[in-house]
Every structure is written in structure tokens, then in C-alpha cells.
Structure 1
Amino acid sequence: MPELATASDGAQVLEKNGAIGAAIEKLTGLFKDRCSTSMALREQHGHTTTWLKNQPPDAVVFAETTEEVAEAVKICAAHKVPVIAFGTGSSLEGHVNAPFGGVSIDLSRMNNILEVNAQDLDCRVEAGVTRKQLNSFIRDTGLFFPIDPGADASIGGMAATRASGTNAVRYGTMKDAVLGLTVVTADGRIIKTGGRAKKSSAGYDLTRLFVGSEGTLGIITELTLRLNGQPEAISGGVCPFPDVASACNAVITTIQMGLPVARIELLDEVQVRGCNIYSKLDLPETPTLFLEFHGSEAGVQEQSETFSAIAEEFGGGPFKWATAAEDRTKLWAARHDAYWAGKSLKPEASIMVTDVCVPISRLADCVAATAEDIRNEGFLAPIVGHVGDGNFHVQILVNLDDPEEKQRTEDFVGRLALRAIAMGGTCTGEHGVGQGKQKYMAKEHGEALDVMRAVKQVLDPHNLMNPGKILPQS
């Protein structure tokens, strides 16, 4: 990025004198009080739920339409000023930090649900709509949107990071749910990708290029989404196991048998203890699977019984059903609050959160090796994961003011990432790369990383769209 230079304190500053000031002046003229340089607001838009340093932008613009996003991007492009899209700020790998300064474009006011086509099982929403808002809006149609990361994230941010969640094992991830996009490109053009047709053979699949691009290729402003019918019956519950390996082996068998489980989540004994404290549960403090089955009344009963037999084979059980809606809601609320439950185990500590994903056949090996690594390091680090698709998370409670402890934690995260890659997996199953996982991209992708750089160069030749993310410096 030729317009940027490194200051002596390690911060990044604009080399071109007055560029950011001139851009902010024009943005203020266009957006009035919706363009702010307040330090508190800037720090809020640099903040992420992560251990990475807060790197605030120089200004924050609150856009309300796709056309306003395009105008803001054009102004920034004319002055070679970086642009960072902001949804709800719930990312975990520094995605919304501004390491080179620039302008944060906040999309939270773009929260309109534009159309719902119940007969076609699809809808069109603005990027600032959150998953809970969407599901509340469509509840009476008999449909639901199944992608559910723990936070009430914005739909645009979920697409940008290719989010997943507890339902992924049955309903897929954001790459499966997004049919089409409206995107503002680096030069301020407004383009549309995909559409409402369930499949197409017409041209390159630009939709999936932008899904998971973390704002580095363009800013997603509208999305056309695939919806699902609400199941006739839902059953679920919890099943304890003697150790994480047994729980993982039960998951592997469940998936390999083709049992259509909707959700299957692992909580190790440390995470269960945190959930008992934070969410007022009374579960045995042992590795536990949370499960949910969707289908007909007879179907979910048969699935539950089949899983009970699988669990017994691996020393698990008893499987306790939670058929009442309020009981299931309490369980899944506890699962979604796992981050805060983990923190409750050591409130004075910071949390370094990481995730990996491996082929389902290697899940038990990877989780068991990771648990042993945690014990050897003496960490307090709950394990929790969407293990039905081989994805799990580790939350290391760490004193970031202790350089030695911080370094040991970073080394552990590195070993975990490389372990997953060596098993045919990935350094991140759903959190995304951001700043935190860049160092593993070459190991995971090899020569393909140069192809990614080439795509970035064509679509964003001045490296203005969320620079410093995904692609490590070559």
C-alpha cells in the first residue's frame, strides 16, 4: 500500500499529508452528524471481542442506504483512504480494527427486511439486520433462518466472515444460505451477484467470492437468503461422557451413520462448570454433548433413541431429553453464552479465543491432543464446539499483562492451528482470518495464496478495503 508508512511507535499513518483530513471534511459535508471523529466512538469501532490491540479508525460514518455506502467509498477512494465495514463488532480475530487508520462505515442503521417470499423460501435483507431480528420477523410465516453464531451478529457481517453456528451440521453455513448479494466495490460501484434462483450456471460465482472475504474485496450492503421451514417436532437434550475422546467418537459414529442430527455440540468439563455458574445449570461436570433433532414426531423420537444407543456404546449417558420448549431454550441460551460462561471462571482474566476445524474422522484425535496440550501448559481453557462438522473452539483465560503467559498462549494457539492443518483441516472453521490467523495462511493454502492476492489486486488495486486482513504481507 504505497500511501502508507510505518510510524516510529509502530502505528500506521497516512504518508500523504492531509488525505484523511480532506476525506473526513467531504464525508462530514455529506453525512453531517452521521460522520464522527469522537475518540470514544472510534475506539468502539476498533474494538473486537479479542485479545488483539484496539486500532481505531480516524472517523466513523453511519450509512443508511447502499447509495450512501457507495458515495462514502468513492470519497475514500479518491483520497486513498482505507475503508473498514462495521456490523455489530462481534468478530474475534480483529476484523474491524483499522491498522492503517481510515474510515469505518457502520451499517447497523441499514436494518430493513426488504422482502420475504415465503412460497420460495427466501428473503432479501439489508446488511445491518441481525439474525434474531430476522427470525422474529419471519416467525409467523412458518420459516426460520438457521445460521446462528453465538452473538446476535449482523447478517452482513455473518456473510463477510462466512459464519457458521450450532445448526451447521444439518443446515450448512453462510456460504450455503446466501443466494445473492449487493456489494459496493473498492471504486464505489454497486454490483449485484447471484439472485433468487436456487441454482445458476451463468458465469463466475461472485457471490461465494465475496462471502468470506471479510470486507477486503467490497462492502456487502444487501443479501438474498435461503430460508428453511420450521420443523414439525423438535427434541433434544444432554448426554454426559467419561472423557472428550469418548464424546467425539460418539459424534463421529452419529455422523457416519447418517443420523440427521440438527445440532450436536461438545462442552468439556471446564466449559460445563462455567455454564453451571453463569447460566444456572446443574449438569454433571464432565464432557457433555448438547443435541437437537428436527423432523416429525416419530422421526425425532427414533433419532433420539438411536443416538442413545450410540452414546451407550462409548460409555456415555444417560441421554436426558428436553422436550419442553423452555427447557431447550435454556440449554441453547447457555451454549450461546459459552464465552461469558468461560470468563466467569476467572473474571479478572482476558480471553484468547481460537477455533479450528478438521475432517470428522480426525475430530477425536485433534480434541484429545488439544486437551492434553492444555493440561501440559496448566491453562484454564474451556473447549466447546460445533463438533458435528468437526469445528471446535478453545477459550484460554490469560493474563495479557504477563508477557511470558501471553507468549505461551500464542504458542499454544499456533500449535493448535498447525495440528488442524496437518490433519487435513483448517486454522479457522468459522471465526475467520482477520489479523489473528494470517500467519497460518501460507501453510494452509500454499500457492493458492498468490491467487488470492491476485484477486485482491484486481478488485482493490490500492488496497483500501479493510487492509491488513486475511492476506499476510508477502
Structure 2
Amino acid sequence: MPPVGGTVGPILPALRAMLGDRLSTGQSVREQHGRGEGVPDLYPPEAVAFPESNEEVAAIARLCCAHRVPIVPFGAGTSLEGHVTALRGGLCISLSRMDRVLEVSPDALDCRVQAGVTRLRLNAELRSHGLFFPVDPGADASIGGMAATRASGTAAVRYGTMRENVLGLTVVTPDGRIVRTGTRARKSATGLDLTRLYVGSEGTLGLITEVQLRLYGLPETVSAAVCQFPGVPAALDATVAILQAGIPMARIEFVNALQMHMCIRYSKLDGMAELPTLFLEFQGSPAAVAEQVEMVQAACEEMGGSGFLWANRPEERSRLWKARHHTYYANLHYLPGKSQMGTDACVPISALAECILETEADVAATGLLAPLVGHVGDGNFHLGILFDANDPEERARAEGLARRTGKRAIRLGGTCSGEHGIGMHKLDLAAEEHGEALSLMWAVKKALDPLGIMNPGKLLKPLD
């Protein structure tokens, strides 16, 4: 693949003529678009463009292609693995101004949105239609960014990830063509599945500008609960028992004792103990929810669970789930001045207890604080490794812990990332996981982005 070598300078006049004040070369704007919410390393782009239509994105791509200028797509900047860093300079294309909900069809249970629409804003607009979009990574991420990273989250155990909930896309190719993939139909047997090729491509194949989404009706009844356990194995055994019983859980979230300690302090969870904990949610008709609650409580009690705390009113549920979603901020608040290296892994649920126990032992051996939470219904867990970004030795320990966590998951039949993606931080792990298939991925990359200008340095480790 030819090297990426172009700079923004030669195309700045044309960009300014097209965008006016929607093009910025200011230092503060460049720095804002030079990192996400993970490790605080800064790689700012040379300039940031704010297009407002597919046609503008396509025109910008054509300019970059002609001068081999690297392109870095940017949504809300909530990614954790360095996806939005401009490793080779170039132009950041922010989709934040492409933030319209284009169409909602209650009858077909779908909608089409521009890539810059955020998850919370979309659900606020859908509520009046009696609908919601369930993929919930915690952060108020943009829908385009969620598609690009194949995001999932707390509700994936019931509703799936972005892979299952994206019906189609509008994509601008690196050479400036506007391509539409998929249809509004729930299935298709025509041609290659380009939609799922782009979902999870992390901005390395093209720019996602519009997304067609599957929607769901708001549940009639919602109930949430917290149950605490004497140890990690008991909590995870209860999870497996619940899943094997076929109970249609909306969410099953695990929080280890250290993370509960931090959540109790930050979110004022009075009455809870610093023990391994399951956060649970049930959805459906009143009768169905009552039956699910009874079965789950029995399964948890059989495994030693106790201290049930129920939340049926919306404000009560919101308080519980805010505590779960705010673990990132709880961790940073616990050790002011530290940075957080977030990493995740995913294994078959049969290996989950082994993987988490080995990981907790590894954390203890490093001397670092790294609380653990997990979407345990689908075998996914996260570490929030707290470290001093200015201390090379402490950073090396944190990176070693993150790497061993990914390798452990691969050894146990899983993946080095079930949710965060690869970005710039997990290139070696992904290459180890995929083996010879990495060469096929590079073949696709070279076919769709022959100049290598799309988000260079991410997702795919260079072949030897």
C-alpha cells in the first residue's frame, strides 16, 4: 500500500472556500479532536472540518484523496482505544453537525439518522413515538461512532449490538463516492453484506454519514434490582444459572468488590456493601416481569445472593443505573490526578469466572488499582486501570496488565475486545487473535482504501 504522505496545507484554500468558518486550524479545536476518553495521549490533526451534508463530506474526501491527506472521522470523541487520534496528522472530519433524525417509521420499527446524532438525543425524540433504541454503551456516543466501533453495552444480552441493530448505512468512500448499503427489510440474500463490513471498521474503510436503525417498542413494565454475593464465583454462577434457565433478561451487569467500593463513595449508594454485585433489569408485561423476578431471585439466593434492593419507579431505576454507568467517573474521582486505561475482553460464559478470577489476581500482583465491571450476560468485562500517565514505570505496569488481560481472553476461547474495539492500542493482540485472517482484512482494506488515507494506524497491524 502506498504510504500516506500528504499534508493539509495544499488543500486549505479549497476547504476554506467550501466550509468557511466550519474549518478550523486553531490549536484548542485541534487538541479537542486529537484524543478520546481513554489514555490521554494527544495526536492532534492539522485541521478540523465540520461538514453538514453527504455531498460536503464527499467533496472533502475527494480533495484528501487527490493529495493523499490522511482522514480521521470523529463523532462524539467517547472512544477508549485511540480511534480518533491523528497519528499521521491530516484532516479530522467531525460529523457533529450532521445531527438530524431524518425519518422515523413507527409501523416499520426503524429510523434513519445522520451520523452525528447522539444516543440520548435519539431516544428523547423516539419517546413520543413509543419507541426506543436499545444499544447502550454508557457514554452519550454518536450513532455513527457506535456503528464504526460496533458498540454494544448493558442491554446487549437481550437486544444485541450495533451489528444486529443496523439495517443499512450511507458511506462516503475514500475517493468521494456516496454509497448506500442494506435496505429497510429485516433480511436479504442479495450480494455481499457491505453493511456489516463497515460496522466495526473503525473509520478505516470510509466515512459513515447516515445510519438506518432497528427500533423497539417501549416496554410496558420495567423493574430493576441489585443483589450482592459473598464472592465472584457465586455471582457468576448465578448469572450462568439465569441464562441457562432461558429467562429473557434485559440487563445483567457485574461489579466487583473494588468497583462497588468506589461506586458507593461516588454515587452515595447507601445500604450497599462492598461485595461482588449483580445489577439486573427486567422488561415486559406486568405478569412476565413478576415471573422473571421470582425466578431470578430464587437462582440468586441458591448461589448465596442476598441484600436484594428493588427499583420499580423510574427515578429509582435511574439512580441505580447511573451508579453503574458512572463507574468511569467514580474511578477517576477516587484517585484524583490519575488517568484511566480502560480495557475490555470477552469470553464464553463458561470461562468467565476463570478469566475474571485470574484477572483479579493479576491486578493484585501489579500493585495498581483496577476495578472491574462486566456485561456478564454475554461474557464481556472491563478493567478501569488507574495509573500516572507521567510515570513511565507505572504506565508500563498498566499496559502490561491490559495486554495480559487480552491474551488471557484469547487463550480461553474469547477475544481481546468485545466492545471497545482495537484502535491504536490493541493492534498486536488483534493480530494474534486473527492469525492468517489478518492478511484477508488487509486485502479488503487495500481494495477499498488503496491510498491508505482512512484513519491510518488503526485496527489492522501492518503485515510483516
Tell whether the 8 Å contact from 1:148 to 1:167 is kept in structure 2 after alignment. yes
Cα distance, 1:3 vs structure 2: 4.2
The aligned residue for residue 89 of structure 2 is 101
Instruction: Choose which of 118, 141, 145 in structure 2 pairs with 1:153.
Output: 141
Residue aligned with 2:107, SS:
helix
Matched, 1:114 2:102: yes
In 1, Cα distance between the equivalents of 2:441 and 2:13?
Answer: 34
Matched, 1:371 2:357: no
Residue aligned with 1:366, SS:
helix
In 2, Cα distance between the equivalents of 1:75 and 1:217?
Answer: 17
Supply the AA of the counterpart residue of 1:376.
A
In 2, Cα distance between the equivalents of 1:42 and 1:429?
Answer: 30
Matched, 1:359 2:348: yes
Tell whether the 8 Å contact from 1:52 to 1:93 is kept in structure 2 after alignment. no
Instruction: Choose which of 43, 57, 73 in structure 2 pairs with 1:85.
Output: 73
Matched, 1:448 2:437: yes
Matches within 5 A, 1:324-473: 324-473=313-462
Cα distance, 1:278 vs structure 2: 1.7
Deviations 1:357-390 (A, max 9, x none): 1111111111111111111222211101111110
Cα distance, 1:439 vs structure 2: 1.1
The aligned residue for residue 171 of structure 1 is 159
The aligned residue for residue 248 of structure 1 is 236
In 1, Cα distance between the equivalents of 2:9 and 2:94?
Answer: 19
Q: Which piece of structure 1 moves more, 402-411 or 64-73?
A: 402-411
Count residues with an aligned counterpart: 462
In 1, Cα distance between the equivalents of 2:327 and 2:62?
Answer: 41
The aligned residue for residue 214 of structure 1 is 202
Cα distance, 1:20 vs structure 2: 2.2
Matches within 5 A, 1:38-57: 38-51=26-39, 53-57=41-45
In 1, Cα distance between the equivalents of 2:116 and 2:147?
Answer: 11
Supply the AA of the counterpart residue of 2:308.
F
Cα distance, 1:297 vs structure 2: 0.6
Supply the AA of the counterpart residue of 1:317.
S
Tell whether the 8 Å contact from 1:245 to 1:367 is kept in structure 2 after alignment. no
The aligned residue for residue 122 of structure 2 is 134
Identical amino acids, percent of aligned pairs: 56
Tell whether the 8 Å contact from 1:308 to 1:318 is kept in structure 2 after alignment. no
The aligned residue for residue 309 of structure 1 is 298
Matched, 1:294 2:269: no
In 1, Cα distance between the equivalents of 2:308 and 2:317?
Answer: 14
Matched, 1:202 2:190: yes
Residue aligned with 2:33, SS:
helix
Q: Which piece of structure 1 moves more, 431-440 or 51-60?
A: 51-60
Matched, 1:143 2:142: no
Supply the AA of the counterpart residue of 1:251.
T
Supply the AA of the counterpart residue of 1:458.
A
Cα distance, 1:318 vs structure 2: 3.2
Deviations 1:108-145 (A, max 9, x none): 11010011000110000000001111100010211110
Matched, 1:259 2:270: no
Supply the AA of the counterpart residue of 1:397.
L
Tell whether the 8 Å contact from 1:354 to 1:395 is kept in structure 2 after alignment. yes
In 2, Cα distance between the equivalents of 1:348 and 1:418?
Answer: 29
Tell whether the 8 Å contact from 1:277 to 1:344 is kept in structure 2 after alignment. no
Cα distance, 1:2 vs structure 2: 3.8
The aligned residue for residue 323 of structure 1 is 312
In 2, Cα distance between the equivalents of 1:23 and 1:30?
Answer: 11
In 1, Cα distance between the equivalents of 2:175 and 2:375?
Answer: 38
TM-score by length of 1: 0.96
Instruction: Choose which of 145, 169, 186 in structure 1 pairs with 2:174.
Output: 186
Matched, 1:59 2:82: no
Tell whether the 8 Å contact from 2:36 to 2:82 is kept in structure 1 after alignment. yes
Deviations 1:266-304 (A, max 9, x none): 111111122122222122111111000111111111111
Q: Which piece of structure 1 moves more, 152-161 or 334-343?
A: 334-343
Residue aligned with 1:46, SS:
coil
Tell whether the 8 Å contact from 2:150 to 2:162 is kept in structure 1 after alignment. yes
Tell whether the 8 Å contact from 1:85 to 1:104 is kept in structure 2 after alignment. yes
Instruction: Choose which of 188, 209, 213 in structure 2 pairs with 1:225.
Output: 213
Q: Which piece of structure 1 moves more, 344-353 or 166-175?
A: 344-353
In 2, Cα distance between the equivalents of 1:467 and 1:365?
Answer: 36
Matches within 5 A, 1:29-40: 29-40=17-28
TM-score by length of 2: 0.98
Residue aligned with 2:289, SS:
helix
Deviations 1:243-270 (A, max 9, x none): 1221111111111221111001011111
Residue aligned with 1:182, SS:
strand
Instruction: Choose which of 28, 33, 36 in structure 1 pairs with 2:16.
Output: 28
Deviations 1:124-172 (A, max 9, x none): 0000001111100010211110001111000000000000011000000
Describe the shift of the 1:440–1:52 C-alpha distance in structure 2 as closer, same or farther (beyond 3 A): farther
Residue aligned with 2:8, SS:
helix
Supply the AA of the counterpart residue of 2:309.
K
The aligned residue for residue 269 of structure 1 is 257
In 1, Cα distance between the equivalents of 2:392 and 2:9?
Answer: 37
Supply the AA of the counterpart residue of 1:53.
D
In 2, Cα distance between the equivalents of 1:321 and 1:125?
Answer: 36
Tell whether the 8 Å contact from 2:40 to 2:339 is kept in structure 1 after alignment. no
In 1, Cα distance between the equivalents of 2:38 and 2:436?
Answer: 29
RMSD: 1.1
Residue aligned with 2:61, SS:
helix
In 2, Cα distance between the equivalents of 1:20 and 1:108?
Answer: 21
In 2, Cα distance between the equivalents of 1:232 and 1:267?
Answer: 28
Residue aligned with 1:99, SS:
coil
Q: Which runs of 5+ in 1 are unaligned?
A: 5-13
In 1, Cα distance between the equivalents of 2:231 and 2:360?
Answer: 10
In 1, Cα distance between the equivalents of 2:275 and 2:301?
Answer: 15
